[in-house]
Amino acid sequence: MTETRNKLLMIGAKYVHQKGFNNTGLQEILKEANVPKGSFYFYFKSKEQFGLEIIDVFLSFFEKEIGGVLSDKSISGLNRIRNFLKTTMKELENANYTGGCPIGNLSLEMGDLNENFRVKLSQAFTNMEFKLIESLKDAQSVGEISQSIDIETVAGFILNSWEGALVRVKAEKSIRPLAILEEIIFAKILIK
Amino acid sequence: MTETRNKLLMIGAKYVHQKGFNNTGLQEILKEANVPKGSFYFYFKSKEQFGLEIIDVFLSFFEKEIGGVLSDKSISGLNRIRNFLKTTMKELENANYTGGCPIGNLSLEMGDLNENFRVKLSQAFTNMEFKLIESLKDAQSVGEISQSIDIETVAGFILNSWEGALVRVKAEKSIRPLAILEEIIFAKILIK
């Protein structure tokens, strides 16, 4: 059961990332997973419950992949943030600027429509932000950035602006929004 | 014909803003507009064509309302940008933090799914950015901000980060992401 359940979640995450939650049909997921129609509710209480668990998949992906570089303590805090932006750019280039951040995508799609999604997405952002806070604290403790920087404010600002750059990347199909973000953050904000 | 067409566009814009393009049904729009089912294609070639015209409605709304403060030449360039952020906050508080920027929402929903939408959304961003460029140029010409500021880069950065703040507002249902944005922009970027 666990194996099929995970397979459904992985395939579901792929479709939701590609085309949104409301636009994803359970039938196409079941078909690709080779799971009989009608047995979905054996694995999940509802499509909503399925979607909420897909948010966990997305967060776990963020923590292992793009956000994983933020946890690599062998690298200085400031360079971890630089790597975070570089990794994002590399991943988006590899994906031809499609996809973007599934947590951000789902927030815009579901933030007004479903309170359970909204709360879970808000928590996911808090977790993502925490990785930035840790990196900024390390950067501050070794003097890479000024002591006067308010870590929590700047971490929120970087995460939110990163989400915004990804919105624009998806519309422009260019890396420029992230390049601008990197330029401003390192020239104006994360300074000694 | 024009009147009914406009009514359909206005109602369509409301629904697309509330719940997305794919999640909006033509039936509910026609019903609310009191237009007979089946006559939609008398007014629009396709749902896609309808959606593309809704983007014009959104852009026009931006230019008149939230972005309108950016065009008020009786106010200094820097204060126009401040007003732009203040107006966004006020509008979002009035809307209980729902809705957000329909151009950003549609970019995440449609940017990978439909090239016609993507191109039109990208142009809408360019138009929005132009308003910021004008304000920044005016601010620079009277010495409100440093001559060394690269106007085009900073305008793109402000617009994208504003979009990102709106993503987070929608998930958090709080004004904090915009307050942080305002704080950082005026303390670190738009300085003399």
Domain segments of chain A as ranges: 51-189
- Asked whether the beta carbons of residue B125 and residue A153 sit closer than 8 angstroms, the reply is no
pLDDT on residue A29: 97
Q: At what angle do helices B2-19 and B26-33 cross, to 10 degrees?
A: 130
Q: Find all residues with CB under 8 Å of B123, minimum gap 6, and list them.
A: none
Q: Is the dihedral of CA B34, B52, A177, A21 positive or negative?
A: positive
Contact call for A184 and B154, based on CB within 8 A: yes
- Which stretches within chain B are classed as H helix? 2-19, 26-33, 40-43, 47-64, 77-94, 102-110, 115-141, 151-172, 176-184
Which pLDDT score is estimated for B116? 98
CA B31 to chain centroid = 27
Contact between B70 and B132 under an 8 Å Cβ cutoff? The reply is: yes
Q: Give dist(CA A178, CA B57) in Å, integer.
A: 28
The reported pLDDT for the residue numbered A147 is 97
Identify which of B153, B160, B183 has the shortest CB distance to residue A153. B183
Q: pLDDT at residue A1 above 90?
A: no
Q: Which CATH number fits domain B51-189: 1.10.287.130, 1.10.357.10, 2.60.120.560, 3.40.190.10?
A: 1.10.357.10
Closest chain B residue by Cα to residue A120? B171
Query: Chain A to chain B, count of Cβ pairs less than 8 Å apart?
Result: 154
Q: What is the pTM of this model?
A: 0.97
Residues 6+ apart with CB under 8 A from A168: A177, B107, B125, B156, B159, B160, B163
How high is the pLDDT of residue B89? Answer: 98
Burial degree of A38 (CB within 10 A; 0-12, 13-18, 19+): exposed
Q: What is the pLDDT of residue B53?
A: 98
Of A27-31, A64-68, B47-51, B175-179, the least confident: A64-68
Confidence of residue A25 (pLDDT cuts 50, 70, 90): very high
Question: Among residues B129, B143, B130, B139, which one has the least CA distance to residue B76?
Answer: B139
Instruction: Look at residue A38 in the predicted model and tell me its pLDDT.
Output: 85
- ipTM value: 0.96
pLDDT tens readout for residues B75-115: 999 999 999 999 999 999 999 999 999 999 999 999 999 99
Per-residue pLDDT, averaged over A112-121, amounts to: 98
Contacts of A66 (CB under 8 A, 6+ apart): A84, A87, A88, A91
Nearest chain A CA: its distance from B3 CA (Å): 30
CA distance B19 to chain A (A): 7
pLDDT of residue A37: 83
CA distance A97 to A175: 8
Model pLDDT, residue B1: 72
Length of chain B: 192
Q: Could you tell me what percent of chain B has a pLDDT over 70?
A: 100
- Interface with chain B: mutation pick from A106, A154, A157, A192, highest number of B CBs within 10 Å: A157
- pLDDT, tens digit (0-9, with 9 covering 90-100), for A49-101: 999 999 999 999 999 988 999 999 999 999 999 999 999 999 999 999 999 99
Tell me the pLDDT band of B128, cut-offs 50, 70 and 90: very high
With H, G, I as helix, E, B as strand and everything else as coil, classify residue A170: helix
pLDDT in tens, A165-188: 999 999 999 999 999 999 999 999
